Chains A and B, each alone.
Chain A
Amino acid sequence: MSVLAFPLARTRPRAARLYPLILGLVALFSVPGAPRAATLPPGSGELVLRGPDDAAPVEAPRLMTDVTVDVSGPTARAVVTQAFRNTTKEWVEGTYVYPLPEDAAVDSMKLVIGDRIVVADIRERAQAKRDYEAAKSEGKTAALTEQERPNVFTNAVANIGPGETVLVRIEYQQTVRHSGDRYSLRVPLVVAPRYNPAPPIVNLVGEDPATGGADPVPDRDRITPPVLDPSTHAPVNPVTVHVSLKAGFDLGALRSDTHKVKIEETGPQSRTISLADGPVPADSDFELVWKPAPSVTPTVGLFREHVGDRDYVLAAVTPPEGKAGPRLPRDVTFVIDNSGSMGGTSIRQAKAGLLAALDRLGPSDRFNVIRFDHTMDSVFPATVPADQANLDRAKAYVAALEANGGTEMLAPLQAALKDSNPEDTKSIRQVVFLTDGAIGNEDQIFSAIAAGRGRSRLFMVGIGSAPNGHLMQHAAELGRGSYTNISTIDQVAERTRELFSKLESPVVTDITATFSEGGADVTPDLLPDLYRGEPLVLSAKLPKANGTLTLSGRIGDKTWTQTLDLSSAPEGAGISKAWARAKIGDAETARITGKMNAETADAAILKLALGHKLMTRLTSLVAIDATPRRPAGARLTSAELPLNLPAGWDFEKVFGPAGERAAPIAPPPVQRRAELRKAVAPGVALPQTATDFEIRVWLGLTLLGLGLLVARTRRFA
């Protein structure tokens, strides 16, 4: 690769910040002896993608990613730089499907070609696509970032020259997750292969589209990139992660359970964190967890930002831990996903989590266990008392589960939500759902929860190295429960304990937020009940951040009130984006659950997206270089970049045994395009190294023998 010249600082001062990063990425590409040697074994030759029908193989560009996150109190700003390197002699277009946090507000994209930086515009999705396609055919280098799911995005870069490296730099805002005294930042690094239920063959008249009529995953082609089999191909897509943490309080413990990290203390409240062993393959989410120093109890976080002629505030308040009401008997239905995507380490985590949960049931509780793949079963026909005999039976059942098959989540969810005593007030009904969420029909699941939740509360437990955070977070919100992640087997005990302290019952109910000044636009519009340790997070747009915000609710049988002074709130960055992103989420939910019709919701989303320059389902970021570069007549080949299988997954359980042409893994048709393509590394062509001397010698000797035989026959004739 030729050296890229970046006289950026001269032309655009801001770009100077890019400089070291670009050099780092370029160095990683060009230095074969770089530390990634430790993680990436040989065989990482060209990535050639085979089409389904023996079409000419396509060579994919290589990708290297750097993620730099600045955490500042309650919000984080992340910069994702993806370097697309074209190793071929052709002009190429590369498409990469990548994940972002489910609440990410993506507001900036820049395309860097040589020494030029092109800043992307936000446009309506269809328009952005048209502009990109036009630039592509004119031979201009262009980049298009589109949202497929709130946590899945596609980056397409057209006209990368032979041997060239093009950078795409995306920025997003996210909020820090907070539960009890634990704060966490999650950086998803890989999109797990999804199971996409097949469209119904017969469209029954009068059937509700949400439950059957239409294709449950209309965009299935867009969320099924090719996936590499780790047993035959070294991991690809190396990634580096840097976090600069300014917690806003004195820090106690700081750790990552998912990756080995190097931590540098830069002050009592701040740290810098990077990966200890250099780049890692993008095959599992990165999670960082921190706690305040033991003497500190941060309870109130209130920040504001002034943008345009409006003020925005973000409040994160943890109510005091009062005494909860009397403990009511519980009626708990556990649902465990044992589909093929859970194969490997995930199913072990899920089983360990479920077994630990069963141990925590009390004698007055009732329970049931449902398991599902593309089929489903339950241990008992209905919930039964949690006595020893029933628990033993359920535990034996759980211990024998194996992961296999498709992921038909709708039926088990509906079965779990089905309540035989909807009017019962003497017990509380809960559903605990353990899954990796590797499905494409999220909207169908959301509308089923909204329609069927009744008095049940839904607690999602995300399993594995790359769970679908969008499904988990949103299902828990709609189900008025909460969301817990179990990323590694070591976390099972701690996270199950936490989940159970939440299951005891909501600590704070009937929460209201009142601003003393009028005209506040608050999100979420309906404030949720809070479980033990959870903060109340809300954001609002105000004409002027003056006066007070009063929060009130019920803790057990007491009322709780807290008043915050807005004018004394410190400045926070990105509050307006977080607010707009949350409003867009509200509108999407209203659309899915039928509270708002599609046109009204879309209009509201579009207005917010264009106003705050956010990428959404309806808006995309597009950057187009000014001058055409691909010579007329030069061919442009397109390739989807392959993804790693998430760490701990079992390839054959998801895609079927190697060699077979990705036969459906289960009786129902499974639609995953990955099954059609398999990347292989052709590598060095090896010469013919067999001689035929043995054949020649044997043939020669045979002829000789025959000749002698003929000669002898003559003599005796």
Chain B
Amino acid sequence: MRAAITLKTGRAAAAALLIVCGLGLTAQGAWIPAKAALAQALLERAFAETLASGRPEKPWPWADTVPVARLTLGGESYIALAGSSGQALAFGPGHVEGTPQAGEPGTAVYAAHRDTQFAVLGRLKPGDPIDVTRSDGTTATFRVTGSRVARWDESGIDPQAPGRRLALSTCWPLDAVTHGPLRLIVEAQSEARGPVQPQ
């Protein structure tokens, strides 16, 4: 009899633990896309302020990054943040450090999560337009030239490559559930022709 009671108590405790952990994990998991969606709303506001004021505006008081551009691609629009640290990428696409601003000579690189904003990369085809509105209000229009898959440490992207180029990167394969070394890179070229420098 006593053994039965102990068994019952133990089972109840186990059930409670499982339920609590399950709820916790589910909430944590669900928070990731929710945070991304919420952050985009806040970022949209901050970017509008940035465009109006002409200086970087933080999306929320404790943010450690600022919105730098609006990317419009595949019918969607996202606010990109400076830097590509894990924290920044949790909220939106990040402008990778050490690459020029979109529309400047060289290759501007933006990265975002495959399962939130950059899920759209898989649908882009050569010739599709990508608009980048910068914090100074100018918009550069790019056309997709192609896409490829490369290791994260062998991207082959030269930030000083000739021309005005754009590269968008996300993790590959798009439907994998674990982290991997491969990245999908969509490359695009500016439609505007920069001034040709004399030799």
Contact = CB atoms under 8 A, between A and B. Distances in A.
Interface of A: 24, 27-28, 31-37, 40-46, 232-233, 278, 680-708, 710-711, 713-714, 717
Contacts of A684: 96, 98-99, 107, 109, 155, 157-159, 167
B19 interface: yes
A120 B91 CA distance: 61
A680 B151 CA distance: 11
A688 B25 contact: no
A266 B155 CA distance: 49
B134 interface: no
B98 to A, nearest CB: 7
Pairs A-B, 9 closest by C-beta atoms: A704-B22, A700-B25, A707-B18, A696-B29, A700-B26, A703-B22, A37-B162, A707-B19, A697-B29
Nearest to A696: B29
Query: Chain B CB within 10 Å — which of A684, A698, A713 has the most?
Result: A684
Interface stretch (B67-75, B124-132, B175-183): B175-183
B18 A710 contact: yes
A689 B113 contact: yes
Given A42-B165, A687-B111, A710 B11 contact: yes
B17 interface: yes
7 contacts: A34-B197, A689-B112, A689-B113, A699-B29, A701-B22, A711-B15, A711-B16
B30 A687 contact: no
B28 interface: yes
Interface stretch (B58-66, B114-122, B136-144): B114-122
A45 B113 CA distance: 25
Given A33-B194, A42-B187, A697-B25, A691 B113 contact: yes
B169 A686 contact: yes
B82 interface: no
Given A680-B156, A706-B18, A706-B22, A713 B11 contact: yes
Contacts of B18: 703-704, 706-707, 710
B23 A704 contact: yes
A104 to B, nearest CB: 27
Given A686-B96, A693-B30, 5 more contacts: A34-B199, A687-B89, A700-B27, A707-B19, A711-B12
A699 B157 contact: no
Contacts of A710: 11, 14-15, 18
B109 A695 contact: no
A693 B156 contact: no
B94 interface: yes
Contacts of A41: 161
A236 to B, nearest CB: 12
Contacts of B111: 686-687, 689
Nearest to A699: B25
A89 to B, nearest CB: 15
B24 interface: yes
Contact of B177 (A232, A692, A700): A692
B158 A44 contact: yes
Contacts of A696: 25-26, 28-29, 32
Contacts of A692: 29, 177-179
B107 A42 contact: yes
A208 B80 CA distance: 73
Contacts of B76: none
Contact of A32 (B15, B86, B105, B114): B105
Interface of B: 8, 11-12, 14-33, 84-86, 89-90, 94, 96, 98-99, 105-107, 109, 111-116, 118, 152-163, 165, 167, 169-171, 176-180, 183, 185, 187, 194-197, 199
A688 B105 contact: no
Given A45-B156, A693-B33, A700-B25, A686 B162 contact: no
Contacts of A691: 32, 90, 113, 115-116
Nearest to A695: B177
Contacts of A706: 18, 22
B15 A700 contact: no
Contacts of B199: 24, 27-28, 31, 34-35, 278
B196 A33 contact: yes
A689 to B, nearest CB: 4
B89 A689 contact: yes
Nearest to A41: B161
Contact of B8 (A28, A40, A717): A717
A185 to B, nearest CB: 23
Nearest to B96: A684
Nearest to B121: A689
A681 B177 contact: no
A684 B27 CA distance: 35
A84 to B, nearest CB: 18
Contacts of B14: 707, 710
Contacts of A35: 196, 199
Given A694-B115, A701-B26, A42 B158 contact: yes
A714 B15 CA distance: 9
A711 B99 contact: no
Contacts of A717: 8, 11
A598 to B, nearest CB: 49
A212 B180 CA distance: 53
Contact of A690 (B31, B107, B115, B165): B115
A483 B153 CA distance: 49
Given A682-B153, A693-B115, A704-B23, A42 B161 contact: yes
B178 A32 contact: no
Contact of B106 (A32, A699, A711): A32
Contacts of A687: 84-86, 89, 94, 96, 111, 152, 169
Nearest to A240: B199
Contacts of A33: 105, 162-163, 194-197
Query: Chain B CB within 10 Å — which of A24, A43, A708 has the most?
Result: A43
A28 B162 CA distance: 11
Contact of B16 (A694, A697, A707, A713): A707
Query: Chain B CB within 10 Å — which of A37, A693, A711 has the most?
Result: A693
A687 B20 CA distance: 33
Nearest to B164: A33
A711 to B, nearest CB: 4
A714 B25 contact: no
A682 B16 CA distance: 50
A715 to B, nearest CB: 10
Contacts of A27: 197, 199
B156 A707 contact: no
Given A33-B195, A689-B170, A690-B176, A703 B163 contact: no
